C-alpha cells in the first residue's frame, strides 16, 4: 500500500482548466482541491472539480482493444492485432480512394489535447486533411468574423473582466459555466462594488442575471434584433468613439448607414424588450469608462449565430472597448488551437472550411452522399458525435455506413458502439496532458500536467497508440534511426536542433510526423515523464520569435535571456513547471501588434454581414404554431459536463437531466413538477423528467448537455442516463455560413405520457441511480 500523496494537475471540466491538487491513494484519485501555486487560478475551483474522481475510475472503463464482430457485438483482441489490422484497412482506403476519403473527428477532448498532435501527425502523413470537432460545433462563426475583422481566423478576442467597470454578458452564465478565471469571485466583486455594473442579455433569469444591474430577457432567437437595436441607438445618439474608430478601424461609414436603417421600435418588439430598457442599456454603456463584452454559446449556437458574433464585435468597436485596460483584447498563443483557412472549400459538401475545420452538422452528408471524395473512413479521438452532433438518427446511420471507423476513448461510448475498432486510452490523469485553451490577456498561461496515477492495465496513452500505428503503416522510423537524434537531445538543444534539421532535410516525408519524432527523441530528456509535451518545443520557439519582449516579461528571468536561448527557456519553463506558467505578458498597446492586417486596422464593414443584417425580418422571431416551445438543447448546470463524465454517480443533483419549464406552461399541459413527459420535434422524441423553474420565460425550455450515455446499472444491464438531446435536433437548423447548429433554438412541443410509459421511465431511473425519487434533490 503506497503512501497517500498530493499531486498537481488541472481540472478537465471546462476550458479554464483551473489548477488542482489530487490526493492519490493506492493509484486512485480520492480527493481534489485547488492548487494555490497555480499562477492563473490561485487555488480557486468550483463545485464540479471535486467530483473528478468519478471520471478517473468507473466501471465503464475499457482495458482492451475491441473489434466488432459480424453480429454487431465486440470481441477483445490484443494491441498488435488491432494496430496491424487497422493499418492494413487504412492503407487500403488511401490506396483506393486517397487521403481525402478519411477524416479526423476530434483530436482531443476537453482538457485533453496532447493526443491531438499525434493523431494529426499520423493522419496528415496519410494525406488526411479534413477535421471535424467540437470547436466547429460551436465557435467557427466567431472565427469567420474574426478573420474578416482582424485579418486571421486565429485572432481571438479575450476579456479583461478583472479591470472593467461594466461587464456586458450576452448569452452566457459565468456563475455556472465560468469562461474566465475565478469567475464566481469576480462576479461577486462586481456585484459588491457600487462603481462597477453588469448587464446580462439572456432569455432566462440565470444566476448571473440575478446579480446584474440590468437584465434584458430577450425573446429566444431574437438576439440579433436586440443587438441591432442597441447598436442603432448608439449611432442615433452619436454615442460612438469617433477617435478610436478613426485611428484603429476602417468601414465605419458603411456600418453607420446600415445601422441607421434599423427600425429600433420594431426590432425591440421582435426582441420583446421595451424601448426604454434599450435606452437604459445604452446609458450604462455610455457611462462606462471600460466595458468588457463576454459572450458564449447562447448566441454562438443561437439563431443568426455568425451575424450575432459580428454584432457583438461591432458593440465592442463602436464604443472603443478594445485595446485598453478593462476592455476586450486579442491574445497571444503558444500554439493556436485552430487554423486560418480563408477561401477554402470542402468539395463533397461544397462547404467553406473555417479555421481549418468542418462543421459536424455536415458529417452525415459527407459520408452518405455520392461525391467521389465522400468519406469512407473516420478516425474519432476522444469525441462522441453519436451524442453530440445534431440529428442522432442520421449520425448513427452515417457512422454505420463507413468502410472503417476507429474510436480512441476511455469508455465504450455511443459512438464507439458503432465503430469497427475501439482502442482504449489512458485517462487524462494517467498520462501527460496539457490544454491549448490559453485565452488570457495581458498575461497568458500554459500548463503541462504530468500523470498523477498509473494507467489501467491494457490501456495506452495516445503518443504510444499513434507511434504503434505509424510504425505499422511504415511511416515512422525505428529507434535505430531516431537514436542519434535522441543522443543529440541529451547533449544540448543546439545540437538537437541542428540534427533535427538535417534529419528532416534528408527525410522530407517525415515532416508531418514531427510530433512523434520529438516524442521519441527530445521527449526522453523531459522531467516527470512528460515526453508527450515534446511537440511544444517547436511552439515555444515560434512564440519566442513572435513575441520576445512579452515572453521575457512572463519569464521574469534574473538575467537577460539572449534571443537564441529564449525559445528553449520558455519551453523549459513550460515542461518543468507542474503548476503552470506564464508564457507571455503584454502591455495593452501590444494588442495592435496582434491584429493580422498589414495596417493593423480593424475592418468593420463585412458586406455579407451587412446584407444579412439588412434582410432580417422581425416576423421571423415568432415560434412556429405546430411546435410552440423553444428548447435550449445543451444548457450548463451545476452538475453536468462534457461527455467524458459517464458515471451517473458524479452528479450531486439533477440525476435525470430534467427539462426546465415555466410552471405556468406545466400547468397548461396538465403536468406536475417532477413528472415524466415527452418532448417532440420534427426530428424525434425524448422522454424526460420535468422541473418547474420560473427563471424560464413562458414558451422557453432547457435540457442539459452531457447526458444520454449508456452505463451499466446495478444489475449490469446498460441503460441510458438522461436525455439524448440530439434526437430532437435537425442538422439543417444551422448557420448558413459556419454550419454551427442552432441548438439554443429548437422548436418543440410537449406531450403527456401514458401511465405505463411514465412508470417505465421512473423504473429505469431508479435502476440507474439506485435511489428513490424522494432521495433526489
Residues 327-356: tens digit of each pLDDT: 999 999 999 999 999 999 999 999 999 999
Q: How far is CA 573 from CA 298, 585, 769, in A?
A: 37, 14, 45
Give the mean model confidence (pLDDT) for residues 523-528: 97
CA dihedral (757, 759, 762, 764) positive or negative? negative
Q: Give pLDDT tens digits for 548-560.
A: 999 999 999 777 8
User: Check: CATH 3.40.50.720 for 66-135+337-585?
Assistant: no
pLDDT the model gives residue 541:
97
pLDDT digits (tens, 9 = 90+) for 113-162: 889 999 999 999 999 999 999 999 999 999 999 999 999 999 999 999 99
Question: What per-residue confidence (pLDDT) applies to 57?
Answer: 80
Question: Is the per-residue pLDDT at 764 higher than 60?
Answer: yes
In which band, very low, low, confident or very high, does the pLDDT at 422 lie, cut at 50, 70 and 90? very high
pLDDT at 716: 81
CATH T-level assignment (fold) for domain 157-330+602-612: Dimethylsulfoxide Reductase; domain 2 (3.40.228)
Task: Show the CA angle centred on residue 36, arms to residues 32 and 40, nearest 5°.
Answer: 105
When pLDDT is cut at 50, 70 and 90, the band that residue 110 belongs to is: low
| The predicted structure's pLDDT at residue 182 | 93
The pLDDT of residue 1: 61
Span between the terminal Cα atoms of the chain, in Å: 37
Which of these, 366, 456, 359, lies nearest to 29 by C-alpha position?
A: 456
Confidence of residue 13 (pLDDT cuts 50, 70, 90): confident
In sequence order, which residues have a C-beta less than 8 Å from that of residue 390 and are 6 or more positions away?
360, 361, 726, 729, 730, 731, 733, 734, 741, 743
**pLDDT over threshold 70, residue 771:** no
pLDDT tens, residue by residue, 253-305:
999 999 999 999 999 999 999 999 999 999 999 999 999 999 999 999 999 99
CA distance 387 to 642: 11
Residue 139 is predicted with a pLDDT of 96
pLDDT mean over 410-434: 95
C-alpha cell at 116: 491531438
- Phi, then psi, of 748 in degrees rounded to 5: -145, 170
Cis ω before 319 (30° cut-off from 0): no
Residues 6+ apart with CB under 8 A from 679: 631, 659, 685, 686, 688, 701, 703, 723, 728, 748, 749, 750, 751
- pLDDT tens figures, 379-405: 999 999 999 999 999 999 999 999 999
- Residue-wise pLDDT for 153-207, tens only, equals 999 999 999 999 999 999 999 999 999 999 999 999 999 999 999 999 999 999 9
Q: How confident is the model at residue 621 (pLDDT cuts 50, 70, 90)?
A: confident
Report d(CA 360, CA 389) in Å as an integer.
6
The reported pTM is 0.96
CATH number listed for the domain at residues 623-775: 2.40.40.20
Asked if residue 777 has pLDDT above 60, the reply is no
Average pLDDT of every residue of the chain:
95
Q: What pLDDT does 775 receive? A: 30
| Mean pLDDT for the stretch of residues 690-703 | 97
**Is the model's pLDDT at 505 over the cut of 50?**
yes
pLDDT at 713: 84
Record the cell numbers describing residue 346, joined without a space: 470542402
Q: Where are the alpha helices (DSSP H) in 577-657?
A: 607-614
Per-residue pLDDT, 109 = 66
pLDDT for 128: 96
Confidence grade of residue 56 (pLDDT, cut at 50, 70, 90): confident
Position 192 scores a pLDDT of: 96
**Using alpha carbons only, what angle is made at residue 35 by residues 30 and 41, rounded to the nearest 5 degrees?**
130
**Among 754, 732, 745, 753, CA closest to 699:** 745
b/e for 392-410, b at 16 or more Cβ within 10 A?
Answer: bebbbebbeebbbbbbbbb
- Do 455 and 432 contact (CB within 8 A), yes or no? no
Q: What is the pLDDT of residue 773?
A: 39
Q: Return the domain boundaries, the chain.
A: 5-56, 66-135+337-585, 157-330+602-612, 623-775
Question: Do the beta carbons of residue 489 and residue 537 sit within 8 Å?
Answer: no
Residue 411 burial (C-beta neighbours within 10 Å; 0-12, 13-18, 19+): buried
Residue 471, all three cell numbers: 510504425
Contacts of 205 (CB under 8 A, 6+ apart): 215, 217, 695
- Which numeric CATH code is attached to 5-56? 3.30.200.210
- 111: confidence class by pLDDT, cuts 50, 70, 90: low
- Alpha-helical runs (H) found in 679-771: 755-769
Amino acid at each position: 500500500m503506497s503512501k497517500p500523496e498530493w499531486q498537481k494537475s488541472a481540472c478537465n471540466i471546462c476550458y479554464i482548466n483551473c489548477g488542482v491538487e489530487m490526493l492519490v491513494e493506492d493509484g486512485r484519485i480520492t480527493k481534489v482541491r485547488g492548487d494555490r501555486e497555480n499562477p492563473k487560478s490561485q487555488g480557486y475551483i468550483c463545485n464540479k472539480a471535486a467530483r473528478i474522481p468519478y471520471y478517473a475510475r468507473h466501471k465503464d472503463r475499457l482495458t482492451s482493444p475491441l473489434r466488432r464482430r459480424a453480429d454487431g457485438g465486440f470481441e477483445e483482441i490484443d494491441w498488435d492485432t488491432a494496430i496491424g489490422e487497422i493499418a492494413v484497412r487504412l492503407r487500403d482506403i488511401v490506396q483506393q480512394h486517397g487521403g481525402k476519403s478519411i477524416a479526423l473527428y476530434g483530436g482531443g477532448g476537453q482538457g485533453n489535447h496532447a493526443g491531438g498532435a499525434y493523431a494529426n501527425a499520423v493522419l496528415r502523413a496519410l494525406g488526411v486533411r479534413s477535421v471535424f470537432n467540437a470547436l466547429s460545433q460551436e465557435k467557427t462563426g466567431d472565427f469567420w468574423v474574426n478573420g474578416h475583422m482582424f485579418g486571421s481566423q486565429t485572432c481571438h478576442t479575450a476579456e479583461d473582466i478583472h479591470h472593467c467597470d461594466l461587464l456586458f454578458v450576452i448569452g452566457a452564465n459565468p456563475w455556472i459555466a465560468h469562461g474566465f478565471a475565478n469567475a464566481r469571485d469576480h462576479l461577486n466583486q462586481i456585484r459588491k462594488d457600487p462603481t462597477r455594473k453588469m448587464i446580462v442579455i439572456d432569455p432566462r433569469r440565470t444566476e448571473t442575471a440575478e446579480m446584474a444591474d440590468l437584465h434584458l430577457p430577450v425573446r429566444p432567437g431574437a438576439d440579433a434584433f436586440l443587438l441591432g437595436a442597441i447598436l442603432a441607438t448608439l449611432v442615433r445618439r452619436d454615442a460612438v468613439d469617433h477617435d478610436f474608430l478613426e485611428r484603429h478601424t476602417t468601414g465605419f461609414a458603411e456600418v453607420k448607414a446600415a445601422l441607421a436603417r434599423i427600425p429600433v421600435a420594431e426590432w425591440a418588439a421582435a426582441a420583446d424588450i421595451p424601448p426604454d430598457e434599450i435606452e437604459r442599456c445604452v446609458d450604462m454603456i455610455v457611462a462606462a469608462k471600460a466595458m468588457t463584452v463576454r459572450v458564449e454559446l447562447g448566441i454562438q449556437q443561437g439563431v443568426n449565430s455568425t451575424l450575432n458574433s459580428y454584432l457583438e464585435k461591432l458593440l465592442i468597436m463602436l464604443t472603443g472597448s478594445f485595446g485598453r485596460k478593462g476592455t476586450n483584447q486579442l491574445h497571444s498563443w503558444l500554439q493556436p488551437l485552430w487554423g486560418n483557412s480563408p477561401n477554402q472549400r470542402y468539395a463533397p459538401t461544397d462547404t467553406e472550411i473555417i479555421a481549418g475545420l468542418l462543421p459536424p452538422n455536415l458529417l452525415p452528408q459527407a459520408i452518405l452522399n455520392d461525391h467521389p471524395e465522400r468519406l469512407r473512413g473516420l478516425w474519432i479521438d476522444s469525441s462522441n458525435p453519436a451524442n453530440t452532433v445534431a440529428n442522432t438518427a442520421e449520425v448513427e446511420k452515417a457512422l454505420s455506413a463507413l468502410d472503417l471507423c476507429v474510436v480512441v476513448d476511455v469508455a465504450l461510448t455511443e459512438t464507439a458502439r458503432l465503430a469497427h475498432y475501439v482502442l482504449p486510452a489512458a485517462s487524462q490523469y494517467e498520462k501527460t496532458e496539457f490544454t491549448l485553451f490559453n485565452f488570457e490577456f495581458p498575461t497568458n498561461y500554459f500548463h503541462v500536467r504530468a500523470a498523477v496515477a498509473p494507467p489501467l492495465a491494457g490501456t495506452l496513452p495516445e503518443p504510444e497508440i499513434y507511434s504503434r500505428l505509424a510504425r505499422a503503416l511504415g511511416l515512422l522510423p525505428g529507434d535505430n534511426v531516431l537514436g542519434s537524434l535522441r543522443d543529440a537531445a541529451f547533449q544540448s538543444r543546439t545540437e538537437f536542433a541542428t540534427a533535427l534539421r538535417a534529419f528532416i532535410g534528408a527525410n522530407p516525408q517525415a515532416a508531418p510526423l514531427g510530433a512523434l519524432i520529438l516524442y521519441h527523441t527530445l521527449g526522453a530528456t523531459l522531467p516527470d515523464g512528460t515526453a508527450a509535451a515534446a511537440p511544444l518545443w517547436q511552439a515555444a520557439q515560434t512564440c519566442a520569435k513572435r513575441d520576445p519582449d512579452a515572453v521575457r516579461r512572463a519569464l521574469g528571468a534574473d538575467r537577460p535571456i539572449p534571443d537564441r536561448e529564449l525559445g528553449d527557456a520558455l519551453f523549459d519553463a513550460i515542461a518543468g513547471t507542474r503548476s503552470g506558467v506564464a508564457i507571455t505578458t503584454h502591455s495593452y498597446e501590444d494588442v495592435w501588434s496582434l491584429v493580422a492586417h498589414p495596417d493593423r486596422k480593424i475592418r468593420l464593414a463585412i458586406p455579407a454581414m451587412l446584407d444579412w443584417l439588412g434582410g432580417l425580418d422581425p416576423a421571423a422571431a415568432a415560434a412556429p404554431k405546430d411546435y410552440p416551445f423553444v428548447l435550449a438543447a445543451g444548457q450548463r448546470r451545476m452538475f453536468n459536463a462534457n461527455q467524458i463524465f459517464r458515471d451517473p454517480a458524479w452528479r450531486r443533483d439533477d440525476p435525470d437531466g430534467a427539462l426546465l419549464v415555466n410552471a405556468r406552461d406545466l400547468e397548461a399541459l396538465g403536468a406536475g413538477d417532477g413528472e415524466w413527459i415527452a418532448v417532440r420535434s420534427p426530428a424525434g422524441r425524448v422522454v424526460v423528467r420535468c422541473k418547474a423553474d420560473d427563471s424560464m420565460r413562458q414558451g422557453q425550455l432547457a435540457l442539459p448537455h452531457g447526458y444520454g450515455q449508456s452505463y451499466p446499472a446495478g444489475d449490469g444491464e446498460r441503460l441510458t442516463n438522461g436525455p439524448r438531446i440530439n434526437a430532437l435536433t435537425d442538422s439543417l437548423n444551422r448557420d448558413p455560413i459556419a454550419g454551427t447548429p442552432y441548438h439554443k433554438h429548437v422548436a418543440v412541443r410537449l406531450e403527456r405520457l401514458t401511465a405505463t410509459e411514465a412508470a417505465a421511465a421512473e423504473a429505469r431511473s431508479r435502476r440507474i441511480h439506485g435511489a428513490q425519487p424522494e432521495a433526489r434533490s
